[in-house]
Structure 1
Amino acid sequence: MTILPALTAHIRAAGTPAGTPTAPITLADRPDATVLRLGDTVVKAHAPGTDPARLTRRLETAAALPGVLLPPLTTTAEELHDRLITSWPYGTPVDPDTPAAPWAAVATLLALLHRSTPHPALPPMRGPAKAARAVTRLRAAVHAHPHPAARPVLHAWAALPAWARAEAPMPGPALLCHGDLHLGQLVRHPAPDGPLRLIDVDDLGLGVPAWDLARPAAWYACGLLPPDDWTRFLTAYQEANGPAVPATGDPWPALDVPARALTVQTAALAITKALAADRPLDEIEQAVVDACARMPAG
C-alpha cells in the first residue's frame, strides 16, 4: 500500500462529523509530502526521513504562536508506513494570483514571527538546505541531459557564500524563520473571512530572517513582482518592526545574498522540471535563468 491510500484510511478512521463528505480531497501528493483534507481536518504525511524530534519542536512552535502560525491539532506526530503524520485544521488558501494578493499581511506576519522568542531546541531553518538540494537535483539532471541554461545557474550558485549554500553555519544572531515563505503558505482560518495564518512548518527554524523576504525580493529583482507589491510588502514589514532589514534606508545589503540564493533555487528547479518534461523553458523560467547570468561572479 502506498502512502496515499494509507493516509486516506487514516483520516477516515479518525471519524467524520455529520454532513462531512466521506471522500477525502487530495491537496498534494508529492514524494516529499502528501496532504489530504476531510471536512475541517487536514492530515499531512511528511517527507521520508523526517526527524521526529525536530518535527515535534516545529509543531510545538506553531502551537505556541497561534496568532502567526496555523496551530496543529496535536503536537504529537504519528507514524504511518515509515512516514510521520501530522493533523491540522483546514484553512482556506489565499489565491496568489489575485490582484489584491495580501503582501502587506504576510509581511506583518513575518515580522511577528521573526520577533518571537523561539523554542530553545528548535533546529536550523532549512532554507539554504532546500536551495542546495535543488542545485544537487539540477547537477544530476544535466549530467544525463546537458542544458545550456545550467551553466549560469551553477556559476551563480558557486559565487554565493558558504552559509547560503548550506556548507557553513548561518551567521547570527539566529532568529525564528519560516524557511520557505511564499503566498502559497498563507491561509485564512478557520473560515474564508477568518484571520490570515502561515502554514507549513517543515522548514521552520533558527536562521537569517532575510531569507524569508528573499523570494519576493528575487521576484521583484527579476521583474516578476510589480514594484507596488514589493513596496507594499517591504513597507509593511518595516512598519511592523521586522528585524531582517533596516527600518529605513537601503534594504538590499541584507537581502542580496538570500535573494540571489532563492533565484538560483528557482532557476535550478525550473531547468530540472523542463528537462523532465522534455520542453523548453517558458518565459518566466528563462527570466530567472537570465537573472542568474547577471549575478556577480564572486
Structure 2
Amino acid sequence: MSTGAAPPAQPARAPAPAVPPARHRTEADRPAPRPPQPGEETHEVLADRPGVLVVRHGDTVVKTHTAGTDREALTRRLRTAAHPALRGVLLPPLPFDDRGTLLLTGADGRATTRWPHGTPVDPHRPEAAPWQQAARLLAGLHTVPPQELPCTPPPFRGPRKVALAVRRMRTAVTAAAGAQAEETAGPAPAVPAQPAHPAAPGPPPGQAPVLPQAAAPVVERAAALLPSWATGAAPAPRADTLCHGDLHLGQLVHRPDGGGWLLIDVDDMGLGDPAWDLARPAAWFAAGLLAPETWAAFLTAYQAAGGTAVHTADDPWPQLDVPARALTVQTAALAVAKAATGRRVLDAVEQVVVDACARMATPPRPSAPRTGSVG
C-alpha cells in the first residue's frame, strides 16, 4: 500500500522480532492453562496485577476492579456490552441474579463483574495471531450507532491512560533512585533484564544496556510534544464513535461455542476517536515490532469491514499519527516503570519503544516527500 508522505511518527523501522508482542509483559504472556479434566471444576487466577484480580471458576470469570472505579460509568459500559447491537463483537457480561444485576460491590468496597470464560490468544503461536479478526471486530464496534444503545456511553479512557503511564514512570524511577541512594554499600549494579518475553532476548550485540533513569527523560520529551487531548487534558477532537480504548491481542478471547473471537475488557470503552483503537498496532509497525505484511492485512481487513477510523488505507497517518505517538509514549513509560521497579536494565523490546520516543522527539531533517510501497 502506498504510504504517501512519510509521517513524523513513523521512524526508521527495525527488523520485526520473531514474535510480535500481544502486550509487553502481561498476563497474555503466561502459558496456556491446562485444560480441565471431565467433571473437574477449574479455579485459576488469570490476572493478578495492582488493583485488579481476575479469577476463573469453571466456565465463569469474576473480575475485581480497581479501587475508586467510577461505578456509574462502569455500569453504562456494562449495559452497552450486554446490548444486542454488540453481539458477536464484545463478550457480554453475565448477570449475578434474575434481576439482571451486572455489578456488585465486594466486601472491600470494590466493583465486581462476571463474564463467560473464553480462550485467549496463544502468545507462543504468533503465526496464528488473529490480527485480521481483531480488525473486523473493531470495525463492527466502530459502526454501532451510539443512539441505538441503551444508554450514552461515557468518554473512552485511552488518552487518560497515557498520562497515568507517564506519572507511573516518574514515581517508579524516583523510588528506584531513592532506594539506590539509601544503600550503604554504594550503588548496586543493575540486574540484567530477564528474557521472559519471547521477543526480548536481551540487548542486541554491541548495544550497551539502558538504565531506566536514562530512558525516562527520553519518554518525557516525547510526551511533552503530544497535543493536550492525547493525554486526556482536553476533549478529543472526535468523540462520536464507540471505541474499545485499549486494543491489544490480550483483549481477545475465543468462545468454545463456535462464536469466534470476541473483544473483552470494557473498562476503557466509550465514545472517542476510533483511530485510537488502531494506534497500538500502528505504533508497533512504525517501531518495527509488527511485520509490514501483518499491518497491511490488519488495516485492509478493518477497512473492508466498514471501519471508519481512517479515510484511506493508502495513507492512514493523518488520522493515526497522534494516537500512534501517544501509544508509543504510553508503552515506553510503562516499560521504563517496570524496569525501574525491577531494578534492572531495559530489555530489547523495551529499548525499541524508548528508541521510537527518541526519534519522535528529534526534529526531522528536511527532505522531499516520500512515496512507496509497504508490505
Letter in 1 for 2:135: A
| Alpha-carbon offset, residue 29 of structure 1 | 1.1
Distance, in Å, in 1 between the alignment partners of 2:269 and 2:71 is: 14
1:36–1:173 CA distance, 2 compared to 1 (3 A): closer
1:42–1:240 CA distance, 2 compared to 1 (3 A): same
1:233–1:82 CA distance, 2 compared to 1 (3 A): same
| Corresponding residue number in structure 1 for 2:200 | none
Contact 2:156/2:269 (<8 A) preserved = yes
Is structure 2 residue 88 aligned with structure 1 residue 67? yes
What is the SS of the residue equivalent to 1:138? helix
Distance, in Å, in 1 between the alignment partners of 2:118 and 2:239 is: 32
| Corresponding residue number in structure 2 for 1:224 | 289
Higher mean C-alpha deviation, range 136-145 or range 265-274:
136-145
Is structure 2 residue 109 aligned with structure 1 residue 89? no
- Root-mean-square deviation (Å): 1.6
Is structure 2 residue 52 aligned with structure 1 residue 33? yes
Correspondences of 1:243-262 after superposition (within 5 Å): 243-262=308-327
| Alpha-carbon offset, residue 158 of structure 1 | 0.5
Larger radius of gyration: 2
1:209–1:264 CA distance, 2 compared to 1 (3 A): same
Letter in 1 for 2:292: P
Letter in 2 for 1:78: L
| Alpha-carbon offset, residue 76 of structure 1 | 1.9
Is structure 2 residue 170 aligned with structure 1 residue 170? no
**CA deviations over 1:6-54 (Å, ceiling 9, x no partner):** xxxxxxxxxxxx9242x62110112231011111111000111111111
| Corresponding residue number in structure 2 for 1:7 | none
| Corresponding residue number in structure 2 for 1:179 | 245
| Alpha-carbon offset, residue 247 of structure 1 | 3.6
**CA deviations over 1:191-243 (Å, ceiling 9, x no partner):** 4x541100000000010110100110011001001111111100000111111
Distance, in Å, in 2 between the alignment partners of 1:162 and 1:214 is: 17
Contact 1:107/1:234 (<8 A) preserved = yes
1:78 maps to which of 104, 121, 145: 104
Higher mean C-alpha deviation, range 104-113 or range 71-80:
71-80
Distance, in Å, in 2 between the alignment partners of 1:129 and 1:182 is: 17
What is the SS of the residue equivalent to 1:148? helix
Contact 2:221/2:361 (<8 A) preserved = no
Higher mean C-alpha deviation, range 66-75 or range 103-112:
66-75
The normalised TM-score by structure 1 is 0.90
Letter in 1 for 2:104: E
| Corresponding residue number in structure 2 for 1:201 | 266
Is structure 2 residue 216 aligned with structure 1 residue 150? yes
1:97–1:208 CA distance, 2 compared to 1 (3 A): farther
Q: Per residue, is there more helix in 1 or in 2?
A: 1
Higher relative contact order (CA 8 A, sep 6+): 2
Distance, in Å, in 1 between the alignment partners of 2:123 and 2:89 is: 19
| Alpha-carbon offset, residue 142 of structure 1 | 2.5
| Corresponding residue number in structure 1 for 2:141 | 113
What is the SS of the residue equivalent to 1:25? strand
Higher mean C-alpha deviation, range 96-105 or range 285-294:
96-105
Distance, in Å, in 2 between the alignment partners of 1:30 and 1:92 is: 20
Distance, in Å, in 2 between the alignment partners of 1:143 and 1:46 is: 27
1:141–1:261 CA distance, 2 compared to 1 (3 A): same
Letter in 2 for 1:77: L
| Alpha-carbon offset, residue 248 of structure 1 | 4.0
Contact 1:92/1:189 (<8 A) preserved = yes
**CA deviations over 1:50-100 (Å, ceiling 9, x no partner):** 111111111111111121000111252011021111111101111244212
Letter in 2 for 1:104: Q
* Greater than 6 Å deviation, 4+ residue runs: none
Distance, in Å, in 1 between the alignment partners of 2:140 and 2:237 is: 21
The normalised TM-score by structure 2 is 0.72
Contact 1:219/1:225 (<8 A) preserved = yes
| Alpha-carbon offset, residue 121 of structure 1 | 2.3
For this pair of structures, how many residues does the alignment match?
279
Distance, in Å, in 2 between the alignment partners of 1:294 and 1:136 is: 21
Distance, in Å, in 2 between the alignment partners of 1:53 and 1:291 is: 37
Unpaired segments ≥5 residues, structure 2: 1-37, 96-100, 178-211, 364-375
| Alpha-carbon offset, residue 180 of structure 1 | 0.4
| Corresponding residue number in structure 2 for 1:102 | 130
